[in-house]
Amino acid sequence: MKSFLNCMVFRVSMIIVLSVASVNSYAEFTVNAIAGKIVRVKGIDYPICEIMAEFTVNGQAIVSGELIGPYIIDEGNIIITEDTGRVVRVEPVSMQNKTYTVKISSAGGTYVDDSYFADNIGLVGNVINNLNLSAENLKNYFITNGLWQGVEVLADGRITNNEAFIDGVWRIENNEFLFDFPESDGCVDHKGFKLVEGAEGEDDKLFFATDAKYQELSTVTILNPFVVPVVIVPLLF
């Protein structure tokens, strides 16, 4: 016993108190859960697609090393406002351990006049006017005549790209031709076309959205979970 006490006096003895974060069974995001964290976002609809994102402690979202814009937590959802003004909503559906299944959606960006492209693919004069402002007719035109070089719109609902090893899909919604454009990295860009009535005496016009509205399922995994501080309490004798 004396030897034990001498040893305790000779050495500085400490008790390390560790707090272990409890498992959150609720499918919702909190500031503590994501602020200052790096996360992996992996597609469910497109499972090859995987990107890294960071939510900084000062409220900024960084995706693939690029600053996207500010984020907030609203009723358990992550709301990101991009520099372009587009708002992306990340809504958790379920959670297991530190992996969330989420629904990612956006109302999309702004459509702009794409008459230059329309001219290049022959959508001029009576050709575009005879589409009668119909997204269904526009889709059929793309199926017959193609879209961009190396890109095809197929009748079975797919979009193919010679430079990508996955296929995207298209859909008609609110008279807009919306599509997931397949990229070479296994991810997709959400784009859209729509026909707009021309002014009096003018032909109808083709408008294009680089960032169109979409909704998709993904998983979000927190890679560096919150580290609870270690409290060191010395023993006093």
pLDDT in tens, 90-145: 999 999 888 999 999 998 889 999 999 999 899 999 999 999 999 999 999 999 99
Per-residue confidence (pLDDT) for residue 18, from 0 to 100: 26
94, 210 contact by CB (below 8 A): no
Per-residue confidence (pLDDT) for residue 108, from 0 to 100: 84
Per-residue confidence (pLDDT) for residue 210, from 0 to 100: 92
Q: DSSP letter for 139, please.
A: H
Q: Which CATH number fits domain 22-108+219-227: 1.10.620, 1.20.1050, 1.10.3470, 2.40.128?
A: 2.40.128
Per-residue confidence (pLDDT) for residue 26, from 0 to 100: 57
pLDDT band at residue 13, thresholds of 50, 70 and 90? very low
Q: pLDDT tens-digit profile of 59-101? A: 999 999 999 999 999 999 999 999 888 899 999 999 988 899 9
Per-residue confidence (pLDDT) for residue 203, from 0 to 100: 94
State the Cα–Cα distance between residues 95 and 186, nearest whole angstrom.
Answer: 25
More confident residue, 19 or 51: 51
For residue 5, pLDDT over 90 is answered with: no
Per-residue confidence (pLDDT) for residue 234, from 0 to 100: 43
State the Cα–Cα distance between residues 28 and 217, nearest whole angstrom.
Answer: 15
Structure tokens at 47: 């499972």
For residue 229, pLDDT over 50 is answered with: no
Terminal Cα-to-Cα distance of the chain (whole angstroms): 15
**74 Rama class: left (phi>0) / alpha (psi -120 to 50) / beta:** beta
Average pLDDT, rounded, for the chain? 84
State the Cα–Cα distance between residues 135 and 207, nearest whole angstrom.
Answer: 11
Say what percent of the chain tops pLDDT 70.
83
Q: Which amino acid is at 115?
A: S
Question: Model-level pTM greater than 0.85?
Answer: no
For residue 15, pLDDT over 80 is answered with: no
Per-residue confidence (pLDDT) for residue 230, from 0 to 100: 39
State the Cα–Cα distance between residues 236 and 14, nearest whole angstrom.
Answer: 9
The ranges assigned to domains in the chain are 22-108+219-227, 112-210
